[in-house]
Structure 1
Amino acid sequence: MTADRHLIEEKTASEEILKGNFLHAFRDTVRLPNGGTATREYVVHPGAVMMIPVLDDGRLVMERQFRYPMGRVMVEFPAGKIDRGEDVLVCAKRELLEETGYTAAQWARAGQLHPVISYSTEFIDIWFCRGLTLTEAKLDDEEFLEVFTATPAEVLGWCRDGTITDSKTLIGAFWLQNVLAGTWHLDWQP
């Protein structure tokens, strides 16, 4: 941290802008490294998980879901918000079952991403899962989505042609591509 001192901004004041059911927004005044001041607005987000579910035949479990801010149906890997105090793997297992109806015999944490570092504290833990068994989805009352399967080649093609523009899914596809190529390895656990 000392080596980065010339880059660090220090909070001098903070104002709550919004406290919603899901998001919490702030406007902070900061002291810049050169001694000046600036305003920073950001959203505090509880964090999320994204799952890359791989069927025994190599196909991937995907979702189509209407995303209100975008005003359109998006193609995504399954994902969900972490509940307060919830372990990330517990959340991943819960969200996979709730959204897709699948359970998984094995899990591997790939990494973490920060999708919008300029205005949000959000992080997304990336989990691969395999040994899938289909049961029954348990969607929330206000959740509507379509579950389908696709080959890795189809998913990568959709990333290339702009069908998939969701940042977490693009990063998931990047991970998938490297895992399939054998350049990145996963540490599988039950």
Structure 2
Amino acid sequence: MTDAHLTEHRVSQEELLHGNFLHAFRDTVRLPNQSLATREYVVHPGAVMVIPLLDTPEGLQVVLERQYRYPVGQVMTEFPAGKLDPGEDPWLCAQRELKEETGYTAKLWARAGVLHPVIAYSTEVIEIWFAKDLTLGERQLDSEEFLDVFTATPEQLMAWCQSGQVTDAKTLTGALWLQNSLSGQWPLTWQSLA
């Protein structure tokens, strides 16, 4: 099967913004019917999200964060996540972000998959990683980073997703992966950090 009947082709490109983090463009594209249209989009460096699993005497918990997100003007509940540095391996980024934001390190890791959170206007791709066999240490937050770290049961997280308390797209996707991996429907392949 071919997708040629759906594919758009760039005719010209105009740079709109080259910021510290994001790069925005307006392209003129040729549609499959040969008409012209414009597409505005943001180039994003890519990111990772970590679903940290913590075994406690009370049972399995997930490590979550609460952080103010300026564009939406509210505190959001999220899994730990962060953007890739230029040329950075996503697994190394996942390890770095988990340690910096939560203080946890993990001995076992599993790559779940990827998600494209905003396909209509961004190139952003987020790799989803699971982490377990956690050890708590010191957080190493960036100077401009302010967040609370807490734990919840998978059931609590799913209830917050259902009630609309959790609306972050990557965390909702992470909750789907978590639910399906815990049920055995989406098995993970674990690898040791050592």
Q: Give me the TM-score of the superposition, normalised by structure 2.
A: 0.97
Shift of 1:167: 0.2
* 5+ residue gaps, structure 2: none
Shift of 1:56: 1.6
Match of 2:61 among 37, 59, 62: 59
Shift of 1:84: 0.3
Shift of 1:3: 1.0
Q: Alignment partner of 1:160: what SS?
A: helix
Cα distance per residue 1:36-84 (max 9 Å; x no partner): 0000000000000000000023101000000000100000000000000
The residue aligned with 1:6 is 5
Match of 1:167 among 166, 169, 173: 169
The residue aligned with 1:77 is 79
The residue aligned with 1:128 is 130
Amino acid at match of 1:5: A
CA distance in 2, matches of 1:10, 1:119: 16
Shift of 1:144: 0.2
Amino acid at match of 1:10: H
CA RMSD of aligned residues (A): 0.7
Shift of 1:127: 0.2
CA distance in 2, matches of 1:48, 1:171: 14
Match of 1:112 among 111, 114, 128: 114
CA distance in 1, matches of 2:62, 2:31: 46
Amino acid at match of 2:85: D
Q: Give me the TM-score of the superposition, normalised by structure 1.
A: 0.99
Q: Alignment partner of 1:149: what SS?
A: strand
Percent identity, aligned pairs only? Answer: 66
Cα distance per residue 1:102-159 (max 9 Å; x no partner): 0000000000000000000000000000000000000000000000000000000000
CA distance in 1, matches of 2:134, 2:6: 46
CA distance in 2, matches of 1:116, 1:15: 21
The residue aligned with 1:44 is 43
Alignment partner of 1:184 is 2:180: no
- Structure 1 stretches of 4+ moved >2 Å: none
Amino acid at match of 2:168: D
Amino acid at match of 1:104: A
Q: Alignment partner of 2:127: what SS?
A: strand
